[in-house]
Structure 1
Amino acid sequence: MEENFKSLEKFNFWNGNVPQQGFLRIAYLDNILGFSNNKLVKVLVGQRRTGKSYILRQIANNLIKNGILPTQIFYLNKEFIDFDFVKTYQDLEILIQLYLKNLNPNGKVYLFLDEIQSIEGWERLVNSYSQDFTANYEIYISGSNSKMLSGELATLLSGRYVSFEIFPFSFKEYTGITRQEANKSSYINYMQSGGLPELFELPNEETKRHYISSVKDTVLLRDIIQRHAIKDPKLLEDVFVYLVNNASNMMSINNITNYLKSSGRKTTFDTIANYIGYIEDTFLIHKAERFDIKGKDTIAGNAKYYCNDLAYKNYLYKGFGYGIGYQLENLVYLALRRLNFDVYVGVIPNKEVDFVAKKGDQTLYIQCAYLLHDETTLNREYASLEAINDNYPKIIVSLDDVSLPQKNGIIHAQAWEFEDLAIRIST
């Protein structure tokens, strides 16, 4: 048991130890800390390696800077092999009680439980500590599967938690960590690289390629193949490759199934549907359903899929043609999701709008275009937005060198300024 406590000491803030903080992600910190000092369980979800662990440690460090004693903070990351012995919620409970006995913290205790989904029955422990009226606990947890909030935890806590989806670096974070000016050149660099935080600690392109490949393999193996006992791992990867290489394109499960069958793969519609669902659950890929702008409802069937990070395309599957316009559309989708919008593909008679973004009573319409270099292109790209008969903000995003004046109330945004514009409009 003493050995177990030494493992805790190694990774916690006690005795003057300050675990690695990484690049400070201020937007997430401000948002999450805005929900602090209450009994709500704070849940960070997102793909592996998007920086959830760093953010948890940054939150803990912020608490310490604001007067909380290091001994009041308990941090455990289940990804570390030092904690392989923590297999069930009972094992975790024993470890927490060991911490309480040895450090005897005075005041509120902050529990930071990182990548908790691999601990059997973790929901019971989180529910118990969050509802313990005999002691004062505040709980922050993280996980890499979207289903962790749709099962027993959601039932047990019944609205007593708040979740935050963590994405790879935004363009603003990218320019911050690379110390570049925000302009067309740096945006294209961002578009042709990736946003996973650890990429920026690696020395060359070959090392980065191996890193991205290992992230992909880890997610597919640990979060899908092992979790769901996948019988055909190669088919699962083929589905992932297809989604990456066709991101920003309208597609259907029938399309994908027929394509794979034509390539000699034996599969079924249900198998492909399940595999896509599993990939979505790990946050590697996001689905945008169609939305009938006039009827104000989603439309079943075809949908678009977007990569959680363009690094998968840029480092692993460069051989497949993938235009800059599609990459731009993918980045705009991610920017909207970071701003907590629900994002759909807009449909109006005989036309399509790239995005209908909704948050509460707010709605934005967004069209993406590589360049508005001539009158024909400009008229075509503006036409879809002009056909919408309401007064919600309409934005067209492009990589043009100059900013265009408003046209019929439609705002033009250069891609590297889009996120700031969306924030101003939606607040």
Structure 2
Amino acid sequence: MDKLYLKSQIAMRQAEFPTDLKKREKSLPVGDGKIVTIPGVRRCGKSSRMENVINELLSQGIDRRRFLWVGFDDERLVKMSSDEMHLILEAYTEMYPDIPINSVYMFFDEIQLIEGWEYFVMRIYKHYSKNIYISGSNATMLSSELKSVLRGWPEEDETLPLSFKEYCNFKGVKTDSWLEPDLAKLRNAFLEYNNEGGFPEVVLMENPLLKVKTLQTYFDTMLLKDLVEHYKLSNIEVLRYYLKRIMANLTKPTSIRSIHGDIKSRGLKVSKDDLYDWANYACDIFMFLRISNYSKSLQKIESSQPKYYCIDNGLRDAVLLPQSNDDGKKLENTVFLQLYRTRTPIDTIYYYQGKGECDFIVQRGTEILKLIQVTWSMMDSDTRKREIAGILEASKATGCKNLQIITYDETEDIEVEEGIMIHVIPAWQWLLTLS
């Protein structure tokens, strides 16, 4: 690796700060003496959150020369070996010999692309600087490897695409006004958010066709770089079809055995074990998030068919180009993403399936915190009976009496039994209060 090239990249990034970026709801910690890791799906805003840390430090009078930023998705840097990573510090100290290295803020973007990177980071933390931020698009590499090597030093701050409140901020829509014209804009913003999702770059685009093309590019990059290239997979077209099948099955328990049978019936060859591995990999790169069926038996939880939720509604629509109305499925996906986004470290999200179904059970530690049912509308009598019956069955199975049904735009309190009330809440309102 050429140190001159490293110096040019460091200097170029320093010259770009401060950047003109919108802030996210939650800021990254500064000065807590831990390595801050920012895992998340590609293009969700991980780098921007780190840049906002720099903007904040610049506003405090920190010299821009004290920022060392290296993006490892650079076509030349991605070929760097772990044995060459010491050249980064050598390049920086040669550029600024008068700056104490322990005062430098270090930002390593998409560092998981370099094999053995975690030992480099630990060496820096132990001997050089406590101000380290690292981002990456693989959950396994930014959790298990760090925890084993760094022994509890990292502080994880997972990033998802924009929340509804962040989406409104990006779009300039008021979220704190109860005037009817503002509420109308808020409802309209929710419809757009439920359809196009929250990838920041896409949200700020005006051209609908460009949005779709951009999201399709995101998917292709995840497929080819994060899955095929990183995990050394072949059978690309089968993998593409498989990911689409999981996306199409949104909100329903997914049987990989069933999908395997379908793929075989099409004359395509792939092992069932490969499909299980591929599903794990897709979750590792944050394309999907999954939950299990609730049970008091750990064995039953582990053996249940999982539900897979897509990291972004817009991404799913761009890949599937669905012909039918998927508003209800996308609403459930939106609700799940907010539950996942706002969970605490001791929260677990399940679904419930018995005679009836309940979309979400939120358990905090050993306590069942709340039950949530999601439906676009309660106006149809059959839908109303089904949703109420499902959440009531889950209530009796768990003992939880905090019951909510989230709809597009309906509000109601339903007393189903003495002492048991179901609160029906508009999604746009619920999304703004659960943060």
SS at match of 1:271: helix
Counterpart of 1:44 in structure 2 is 38
SS at match of 1:395: strand
Tell me how far apart the structure 1 counterparts of residues 286 and 151 of structure 2 sit (CA, whole Å): 24
| Gap regions ≥5 residues in structure 2 | 176-185
Alpha-carbon shift at residue 24 of structure 1 (Å) = 1.4
Tell me how far apart the structure 1 counterparts of residues 325 and 272 of structure 2 sit (CA, whole Å): 26
Tell me how far apart the structure 1 counterparts of residues 308 and 167 of structure 2 sit (CA, whole Å): 23
In the alignment, which of 393, 409, 422 is matched to residue 410 of structure 1? 422
Alpha-carbon shift at residue 296 of structure 1 (Å) = 11
Tell me how far apart the structure 2 counterparts of residues 395 and 110 of structure 1 sit (CA, whole Å): 45
In the alignment, which of 7, 10, 14 is matched to residue 8 of structure 1? 10
Residue 377, structure 1, aligned to residue 372, structure 2: no
SS at match of 2:294: strand
SS at match of 1:371: coil
In the alignment, which of 80, 90, 93 is matched to residue 100 of structure 1? 93
Q: How does 1:94-133 map to 2 (within 5 A)?
A: 94-103=87-96, 104-106=98-100, 108-132=103-127
SS at match of 1:357: strand
Alpha-carbon shift at residue 249 of structure 1 (Å) = 1.4
Tell me how far apart the structure 2 counterparts of residues 100 and 87 of structure 1 sit (CA, whole Å): 19
Per-residue Cα deviation, 1:407-426 (whole angstroms, up to 9, x for no partner): 33322221001123334xxx
Counterpart of 1:22 in structure 2 is 21
Counterpart of 1:398 in structure 2 is 407
SS at match of 2:147: helix
Counterpart of 2:190 in structure 1 is 187
Tell me how far apart the structure 2 counterparts of residues 61 and 295 of structure 1 sit (CA, whole Å): 46
Q: How does 1:228-239 map to 2 (within 5 A)?
A: 228-239=231-242
Query: Contact 2:17–2:64 (CA<8 Å) still a contact in 1?
Result: no
Residue 154, structure 1, aligned to residue 147, structure 2: yes
Tell me how far apart the structure 2 counterparts of residues 20 and 297 of structure 1 sit (CA, whole Å): 50
Per-residue Cα deviation, 1:249-292 (whole angstroms, up to 9, x for no partner): 11211121112222332222112111111111111111111112
SS at match of 1:228: coil
In the alignment, which of 288, 298, 305 is matched to residue 308 of structure 2? 305
Per-residue Cα deviation, 1:353-380 (whole angstroms, up to 9, x for no partner): 1011234466221110110114443333
Alpha-carbon shift at residue 38 of structure 1 (Å) = 2.9
RMSD: 2.4
Q: Structure 1 residues 292 and 12, CA, compared in 2 at 3 Å: closer, same or farther?
A: same
Query: Contact 2:35–2:133 (CA<8 Å) still a contact in 1?
Result: yes
Per-residue Cα deviation, 1:329-358 (whole angstroms, up to 9, x for no partner): 000010111113555333364222101123
Tell me how far apart the structure 2 counterparts of residues 164 and 392 of structure 1 sit (CA, whole Å): 32
Residue 267, structure 1, aligned to residue 276, structure 2: no
Aligned partner letter, 2:154:
Y
Query: What TM-score results when the alignment is normalised by the length of structure 2?
Result: 0.87
Query: Contact 1:110–1:138 (CA<8 Å) still a contact in 2?
Result: yes
Query: Contact 1:187–1:416 (CA<8 Å) still a contact in 2?
Result: yes
Aligned partner letter, 1:344:
I
Query: Contact 1:252–1:301 (CA<8 Å) still a contact in 2?
Result: no
Counterpart of 2:180 in structure 1 is none
Alpha-carbon shift at residue 293 of structure 1 (Å) = 6.0
Query: Contact 2:167–2:203 (CA<8 Å) still a contact in 1?
Result: no
Tell me how far apart the structure 2 counterparts of residues 189 and 138 of structure 1 sit (CA, whole Å): 39
Aligned partner letter, 2:304:
G
Per-residue Cα deviation, 1:29-85 (whole angstroms, up to 9, x for no partner): 1xx32xx3233211101111111111111112112223433222211111234x527
- Between stretches 107-116 and 61-70, larger displacement belongs to 61-70
Alpha-carbon shift at residue 96 of structure 1 (Å) = 1.9
Tell me how far apart the structure 2 counterparts of residues 101 and 361 of structure 1 sit (CA, whole Å): 54
Q: How does 1:273-352 map to 2 (within 5 A)?
A: 273-292=276-295, 298-321=301-324, 323-340=326-343, 342-347=347-352, 349-352=354-357
Q: Structure 1 residues 286 and 348, CA, compared in 2 at 3 Å: closer, same or farther?
A: closer
Alpha-carbon shift at residue 315 of structure 1 (Å) = 2.1
Aligned partner letter, 1:149:
L
Query: Contact 2:164–2:193 (CA<8 Å) still a contact in 1?
Result: yes
Query: Contact 1:147–1:281 (CA<8 Å) still a contact in 2?
Result: yes
SS at match of 2:372: strand
Query: What TM-score results when the alignment is normalised by the length of structure 1?
Result: 0.89
Tell me how far apart the structure 2 counterparts of residues 392 and 116 of structure 1 sit (CA, whole Å): 45
Q: How does 1:217-228 map to 2 (within 5 A)?
A: 217-228=220-231
Alpha-carbon shift at residue 164 of structure 1 (Å) = 1.8
Counterpart of 2:182 in structure 1 is none
Aligned partner letter, 2:111:
I
Alpha-carbon shift at residue 192 of structure 1 (Å) = 1.5
Query: Contact 1:169–1:195 (CA<8 Å) still a contact in 2?
Result: yes
Using the aligned pairs only, state the percent identity.
25
SS at match of 1:176: helix
Counterpart of 2:203 in structure 1 is 200
Per-residue Cα deviation, 1:286-323 (whole angstroms, up to 9, x for no partner): 11111126989724231111110111232231235453
Counterpart of 2:178 in structure 1 is none
Tell me how far apart the structure 2 counterparts of residues 7 and 391 of structure 1 sit (CA, whole Å): 55
Aligned partner letter, 1:119:
I
Tell me how far apart the structure 1 counterparts of residues 414 and 64 of structure 2 sit (CA, whole Å): 53
Q: Structure 1 residues 367 and 205, CA, compared in 2 at 3 Å: closer, same or farther?
A: same
Tell me how far apart the structure 2 counterparts of residues 47 and 167 of structure 1 sit (CA, whole Å): 7
SS at match of 1:377: helix
Query: Contact 2:171–2:204 (CA<8 Å) still a contact in 1?
Result: no
Q: Structure 1 residues 120 and 377, CA, compared in 2 at 3 Å: closer, same or farther?
A: closer
Tell me how far apart the structure 1 counterparts of residues 303 and 24 of structure 2 sit (CA, whole Å): 36
Alpha-carbon shift at residue 171 of structure 1 (Å) = 1.1
Query: Contact 1:394–1:410 (CA<8 Å) still a contact in 2?
Result: yes
Aligned partner letter, 2:24:
R
